[in-house]
Structure 1
Amino acid sequence: MPTILITGCSSGFGLDTARLFLEKGWRVVATMRRPMPDLLPASDHLTILPLDVTDPHSIRAAFAQAGDIDVLVNNAGVGAAVPVELTEPETARLLFETNTLGTLATMQAILPRFRERRGGTIINVTSSVTLKPLPLIGVYRASKAAVNALTESLAIEMEPFGVRVHIVLPGRSPETSFGTNAMPHLRGLDNADYKPMIEGMIASFRDAGGPVTHAGDVAAAVWRAATDPGAPFRIAAGEDAVQWMAEAEGHD
């Protein structure tokens, strides 16, 4: 029975991905900073572990308890919506320590095992906002673009060892806590220059119209990356993300 370890399973993409792989008969190690057992159906194939990707001790403990792993999904992340000029150092550090360095740390925890056995899959969930510039999420976008760059190089490094590496790029989703988590870091509403831009961004977060990404779209993309050896390196997840990727690649 194959085993998948997923970070950030307390809601949204991670939670739906854990549910899907359980339904498909996999052994699932669902991790989150504060374990909430009631989120997932009871199963002999389910292990829920605490994991804070910014804490090296937490990472070592979780991977030791998880046992053999076939697929690692880096989904844990944090968002912030704030103009680059007004981004506080503490916010920038939080974004990069969680989104970028946390992903790097979990990959480094599993790569020796994968390389030794000449097999395994790493799937990094980043964001379709890395495909084109958008206002007010510059530092968040940079933290995710850095993961893309890391993953691109890692894919080349791991190819000789039979380890597959993929990026999943979700779009805007009403089913995640990005907007809620991003708001505490918001700065600039008291600035006459930035206020109209920020108010427009807040309205867009609350707008349920237009193409969006559902958690199930991301779970399906992760499933494809985990189970299809011919899956592309980059997989867009969600109607809006598919459109953005087509635009970025110059397709109609």
Structure 2
Amino acid sequence: MPTVLITGCSSGFGLETAKLFLAKGWNVIATMRQPRADILPVSDNLTVLPLDVTDPESIRKAVEQAGDIDVLVNNAGIGAAVPIELIEPDTARLLFETNTLGTLATMQAVLPGFRKRRSGTIINVTSTVTLKSLPLVGVYRASKAAVNALTESLAVEMAPLGVRVHIVLPGRSPETSFSTNATPHLRGLDNPDYKPMIESMIASFRDERGPLTHATDVAAAIWRAATDPGAPLRIAAGEDAVQWMAEAG
């Protein structure tokens, strides 16, 4: 049976994706910074490994322990919503080190094996915020847009070598830790120019009305990318994501 390695499985999209692949009978390597097997179903097909995508040695060990991998799902990421003027340099670095360079490093770790076997699939989870200009998520958006660009170029490089590459773009979801992760980095509520914008953003995070993306939507999109050779390079995940992608053309 095939094997999938998924990063960021402690909650949200990664956790739901691991559950789906387990239910489908796959071998699942569920990775997270602080491993917790109790959040996933008990299964002989499940291996839980520590993996910090900002640590090259952690990536090397996880990929080595995983053995032959058929599908890599890069889901691990971190969010921050803060005006570009006010974002701390350390926060900007963390966003790119986690979202962009972490994704690059995990891809580089599996690609030699994929090339050798002339098979394999890489699925990178980014965001529909990359499809339109939005306030307060400029640096986060840039870190995810960079992954889109990397993935698009990698797809061209890998096509002659039998390796498929896809981007899954979720929309706004109440089932992720984005707002929790973003809160410590928040700046600007004491600034009269930015305060109304930030308060509006916080309200939108808490508003669960209208079309949304659910973790099951993202898991289904990842499953399609992993199992359908005809799947497009970019796959929207969630009702709002489908609308945004249609508007973006």
TM-score range, shorter chain: over 0.9
Residue 84 in structure 1 maps to residue 84 in structure 2: yes
Q: For the residues of structure 2 that align with 1:114 and 1:18, how far apart are their CA atoms? A: 21
Aligned runs of 1:192-207 on 2, under 5 Å? 192-207=192-207
- Find the aligned partners of 1:179 and 1:198 in 2 and give their Cα distance: 12
Post-superposition CA distance 1:157-213 (Å, at most 9, x none): 001100000000000000000011101100000001000000000000000101100
Q: 2: CA distance between counterparts of 1:157 and 1:37? A: 36
1:219-247: CA deviation from partner (whole Å, max 9, x where unpaired): 00000000000001000000000000000
CA distance in 2, matches of 1:38, 1:12: 15
> Which amino acid counterpart does residue 123 of structure 2 have in structure 1?
I
Q: Residue 5 of structure 2 aligns to a residue in which SS? A: strand
Mapped pair 1:96 → 2:96: yes
Aligned to 1:20: 20
Q: Which runs of 5+ in 1 are unaligned?
A: none
The percentage of counterpart residues that share the same residue type is: 83
TM-score for both structures, normalised by structure 1: 0.98
The secondary structure found in structure 2 opposite 1:123 is strand
Q: CA deviation at 1:120?
A: 0.2
- 1:105 CA displacement: 0.1
Q: Which amino acid aligns with 1:237?
A: A
**In 2, distance between residues paired with 1:179 and 1:143?**
17
Q: Is 1:3 aligned with 2:3?
A: yes
Map of 1:179 onto structure 2: 179
Encode CA deviations 1:92-141: one digit per residue, 9 max, x unaligned: 00000000000000000000000011000000000000000100000000
Instruction: Give the whole-Å Cα distance in 2 for the aligned partners of 1:240 and 1:29.
Output: 30
Residue of structure 2 equivalent to 1:121: 121
Match runs of 1:145-156 below 5 Å: 145-156=145-156
Aligned equivalents of 1:224, 1:208: Cα separation in 2:
26
Tell me how far apart the structure 2 counterparts of residues 55 and 180 of structure 1 sit (CA, whole Å).
22
Aligned to 1:241: 241
Distance 2:74 2:131 in 1: 19
Deviation at 1:64, TM superposition (A): 0.6
Give the Cα separation in 1 of the matches to 2:37 and 2:19. 13
AA paired with 1:158?
A: M
Matched, 1:224 2:219: no
In structure 2, what residue type is equivalent to 1:201?
A: M
Gaps of 5+ in 2: none
Q: Give the Cα separation in 2 of the matches to 1:3 and 1:81.
A: 35
- The amino acid that maps onto 2:148 is N
Rounded to whole Å, the distance in 2 between the matches of 1:36 and 1:244 is 35
Which one-letter code corresponds to 1:207 in the other structure? D
Which position in structure 2 is the counterpart of 1:130?
130
Residues paired across the two proteins, number: 249
Letter in 2 for 1:130: T
Matches within 5 A, 1:28-177: 28-177=28-177
Runs of at least 4 residues off by over 6 Å: none
